[in-house]
A and B are shown apart, each in its own frame.
Chain A
Amino acid sequence: MKPKLLSGNEAIARGALDAGAALATGYPGTPSTEILEALVREPGIRTFWSPNEKIAVELASGVSCAGFRVLATMKHVGVNVAADPIFTLAYTGVGGGLVIVTADDPELHSSQNEQDNRRYASFARIPMLEPSDSQEALDFTREAFLLSESFDIPVFLRTTTRISHGKSAVEQRSAAEPPKERSPIKKGLIRNPAKYVMVPANARARHPDLEDRISRLAAYAEDCPFNRAELRGGDLGIITSGISYNYVREAAPEASVLKLGLVFPMPSVLIRDFASRFDRILVVEELEPYIEEWVRLLGIRCEGKSLIPRFGETGTQTVRHAVSLSSPSPDPARDAGPEEERGLEGRIPVRPPVMCVGCPHRGIFHLLNRKKFFVAGDIGCYTLAVAPPLSAIHTTLCMGAGINQAAGIEAVLPEEHGKVVAVIGDSTFLHSGMGGVLNMAFNSIPATVIILDNFTTAMTGRQNHPGSGFDASGNRTRQIQWEALLKGLGIENVRIVDAYDIGRLRDALEEETRRDAPSVIVVRGACMLLKNHAVKRNPPLRIDPEACTDCGVCLSLGCPAIARKGGSAGEKPCIDQDQCTGCDLCGQLCSFGAIGREQ
């Protein structure tokens, strides 16, 4: 069979299918999202978007307990959310193979931090595989299920953005058969409290058992086919894993390499043996000195973070530098791209991402800006409102944090009441916002929360959630009722407002923020990119140059369809007829009646 071009994420999906996984679940998050998207149309596997990563891992543990293979996917910070079940799952172990994908994001292409989740493997005592390309992503995923079953333990598969999103050739087995269980897994209801009920007495016994399983895995690591020494002579030995292996091969094709595919537990004998052959040992890894610390623990002298930065992505140039100069790279950011060099950036205006034309988030952020609110923000497309001209986000920490930050501020700054709001998307609210609203009601904190309800998880490419009315496969399902949900959480003051009605938005904002009680405003408007909802799309608007006074209010919306002609400061604004969706936000804001449709 001819090789196929697959992304790492598509290859992981393929690997889970090949392994006969019965179910896959996760919460969307860049760069992990496409794994489940590749599985939703596959027969023979059930695919669920879970409301959050903790739910995904707990659901997966149930599937595994029932004796079936299961995949849980998330981005690196999603593992923080799921950490609670993960740490104890290491104790209980599994029934059917349980594989957790953590897709890390060095360089923060689309994340709030760049934590290195290899630390989770050693912290939680869970084995971790790290592929270097799409072929390995497929092979390692398949094998991860077997490892999980053989050693009675969940297994992490760690990717980074370049592995998940990068595409490379994959040899596909024709009609792959699921790998056989090494010892048969019982399917059905397993009543085994000593293994699955983690009361102290049982957990106390499971902890040494976990250490025993890890010892056996460490022995396996010495012979694991995914750890390999590539000996090419010379006096330089490089130890590496994951994406960095590719940069090493590119930068130093003649160097000997110890490539680690299983990064927890580490193969101590293999490392010692490899290191003993060379005068100089260099560890090449992105982010944390994870391998380097292991190598040093073994008493081996090596270089690593003294030459390769602890932040950002690495790349061929950084590795070349580390190999040749034995001194820190003078400009560690070089591999990220040269455009900031040579003063080019000054000549070419920056092009940050913006909200789409007709986006339902634009109106409310315009008002928040104009009324000078302090906005505790959250994570989603609307975080883009941090940039000018909307400039109306003042905190973004993690999923669900904004509500609690606003509540904290209200609790200690009562004099600022009426000037503070929390803003959160519908998917993010259902992920981890409900507890915050419950807390506001419970502790009588008179904060105002604005939920931006666009019926989808927009930022990651429009995945359905419990407020969408559709499941992962696009089938109709129960849609949560916001009023009932919020009332149930203890919020008396709930208003649902059309995202495109500036007057009503202004009133709601004024009244609810002034109120001396917790309140929620649901700003409703479907994402412009949604296909299964009736998206508001009207004939385009025009600006009458006679009536226009060039006050600039329409430009302050930051709509990509409104521009001064030719970008020239002297020209009046006009509307691009091809792009305009006729949302009429600009029309409502124009005090001079200059914006309208042709009669």
Chain B
Amino acid sequence: MISPGERTINILMAGVGGQGTILAGELLSHVLLEDGFDVKKSDVHGMAQRGGRVVSHVRFGRKVHSPLIAPGEADILVGFEMAETLRSLDWLVPGGRVISENRAILPYTCQVGEASYPFQALDTIAQSGFDLTVVEGEKLAREAGSVKAANIVLMGALARFLPVAPEVWQETIRRNMSGKLVEVNLKAFALGWGKVQS
């Protein structure tokens, strides 16, 4: 478990447009604020939404100044897609924690066979001295009732490493979502949470 003390904790989320990367960062930020931390979140809208790379920076602690994580200073990297996890690795502190989906979304050059996709990304990460937790987010999300909840499965896994009680997450999910989505996302969160040994 990572606890901030006087320090600001940095969580970087990386994914592909349409995966709910920004929404997951949003939920995480609400949870942290609810728990009494100062929080800043920054991501880029616009071009990134069209199937491009999406990165969201979430920082929390007693008092957060910069909304951006400095390169090489992320404590935790949450990757929603394998190649994007690999691409973002240098944002982490040496030996930092990685939580990654094991899913591949091929960029255009790979789709047409012009470039090769790094299917061995997660092995590379594990061999590079990072603390890697692999989560089958999409598969578990389908179990929870919607593939779209894969982002919340990953939040469930992330929650294991943060100093916030799961009840705060559950409450925040209830407050920020509506109707059927609440049940699906609560289940997705629980499946992600259960994936990681305490």
Residues of A within 8 A of B89 (CB): 344
Most buried by B among A341, A351, A560, A563: A351
CB of A169 within 8 A of CB of B113, answer no
Binds B, one of A185-193, A215-223, A246-254: A246-254
Q: Which of B7-51 contact A (CB under 8 A)?
A: 16-17, 26, 29-30, 33, 38-51
Can you name the residue of chain B whose Cβ is closest to the Cβ of A345?
B87
CB of B91 within 8 A of CB of A567, answer no
A338 within 8 A of B: yes
Q: A334-B71, A339-B88, A355-B50 are in contact. Are A166 and B40 (CB under 8 A)?
A: yes
A562 within 8 A of B: yes
Distance A351 CA – B54 CA, assembled complex (angstroms): 10
Residues of A within 8 A of B70 (CB): 250, 315-317, 335
- Among B52, B90, B109, B110, which residue has its beta carbon within 8 angstroms of that of A344? B90
> How many A-B residue pairs lie within 8 Å, measured between CB atoms?
163
Distance A384 CA – B48 CA, assembled complex (angstroms): 11
A110 within 8 A of B: yes
- Please give the distance in Å from B2's CB to the nearest CB on chain A: 19
CB of B107 within 8 A of CB of A168, answer no
- Among B49, B66, B115, which residue has its beta carbon within 8 angstroms of that of A353? B49
CB of B67 within 8 A of CB of A168, answer yes
- Please give the distance in Å from A32's CB to the nearest CB on chain B: 11
CB of B67 within 8 A of CB of A246, answer yes
Distance A110 CA – B88 CA, assembled complex (angstroms): 21
A411 within 8 A of B: no
A347 within 8 A of B: yes
Residues of A within 8 A of B67 (CB): 133, 162, 166, 168, 243, 246
Q: A338-B71, A347-B118, A567-B110 are in contact. Are A381 and B50 (CB under 8 A)?
A: yes
Can you name the residue of chain A whose Cβ is closest to the Cβ of B86?
A348
A362 within 8 A of B: no
Residues of B within 8 A of A31 (CB): 45-46
B106 within 8 A of A: yes
CB of A168 within 8 A of CB of B45, answer no
Q: Which of A154-206 contact B (CB under 8 A)?
A: 161-162, 165-169
Residues of B within 8 A of A243 (CB): 67
Q: Write 11 A-B pairs (CB below 8 A) sorted by A numbering.
A: A133-B67, A165-B44, A243-B67, A347-B118, A349-B109, A353-B17, A353-B52, A354-B50, A356-B51, A389-B108, A459-B46
Q: Interface residues, chain A, CB within 8 Å of chain B?
A: 3-5, 30-31, 109-110, 133, 161-162, 165-169, 243, 246-247, 249-250, 315-317, 334-335, 337-339, 341-342, 344, 347-356, 381, 384, 388-389, 459-461, 552, 555, 558, 560, 562-564, 567-571
